[in-house]
Amino acid sequence: MNSNDYSELEDEAATFIAMYDGLTDSELEYAYLSSESFSDVLMGPDNGSGELPDDYPTDHGGILVSDLTAEQQALVTAAIASYVADYASDIADPLLEAYTSAEAYAQTYVAWAGSQSAGVDIDTNGTYMRIDGPRVWIEIICQGGIVIRNETHYHTIFRDKTMDYGNTL
């Protein structure tokens, strides 16, 4: 029997954790979505409705990326790049440039929810993380295992608010 382990989201998770670890305690508190809790990604493919959601939150919540230091912005860029890099470079490079421009970062928010006392912990059920920009939308939610009990699993989605689900890149 094959006993290989696979960690498909290892790079993405590492860049998100580095991004949140790069925030100060006060920035983490500001990025916290205090009145929100999540059991799954908010903008999944259809969330059981049969319809593709396009009603992104207009009350973004979180901390504005343009208010962060250059080093912190580099960590946000790395988190976005970990998803965009799945495309060929002729698609990924212009997307990354659009998502991470100064104009985009002036409208891009980093937010999280879950147990505030536990902090951003990928092993805690209910920990939710997102990047919300004028075009980019990335979410990760940590959930308790269903198939493998007592083991966290993750749902994540990366969407382009203007060019996904049938629109061309």
**1 in any annotated domain:** no
Q: Is residue 145's pLDDT more than 70? A: no
Residue 48's pLDDT is: 62
49 part of a folded domain? no
Contact present, 120 and 114 (Cβ < 8 Å): yes
pLDDT of residue 22: 97
Position 167 scores a pLDDT of 61
Query: What pLDDT, in 10s, does the model give residues 72-84?
Result: 999 999 999 999 9
- Whether residue 139 is contained in a domain is answered as yes
Residue 156 lies in a domain: yes
Q: Which residues pair with 139 in a beta bridge?
A: 130, 157
* Percentage of the chain exceeding pLDDT 70: 85
Number of domains in the chain: 1
Please tell me which of 9-23, 77-91, 137-151 the model is most confident about, judged by mean pLDDT: 77-91
| Reported confidence tier of residue 169, pLDDT bands at 50, 70, 90 | low
**In-domain check, residue 46:** no
Which pLDDT value is given to residue 30?
A: 95
What DSSP string runs through 93-131? HHHHHHHHSHHHHTT-EEEEES-TTT-S-TTSTT-EEEE
Q: Among 23-27, 33-37, 59-63, 105-109, which stretch is predicted with the lowest mean pLDDT? A: 33-37
Residue 129 contacts residue 16 (beta carbons within 8 Å) = yes
pLDDT band at 59 (very low <50, low <70, confident <90, very high): confident
Domain that holds residue 32: 10-40+59-160
Residue 53 belongs to a domain? no
Tens of pLDDT, residues 24-47 = 999 999 999 988 888 888 888 765
Residue 101 falls within a domain, yes or no? yes
The answer to whether residue 51 sits within a structural domain is no
Q: What is the mean pLDDT of residues 50-57?
A: 75
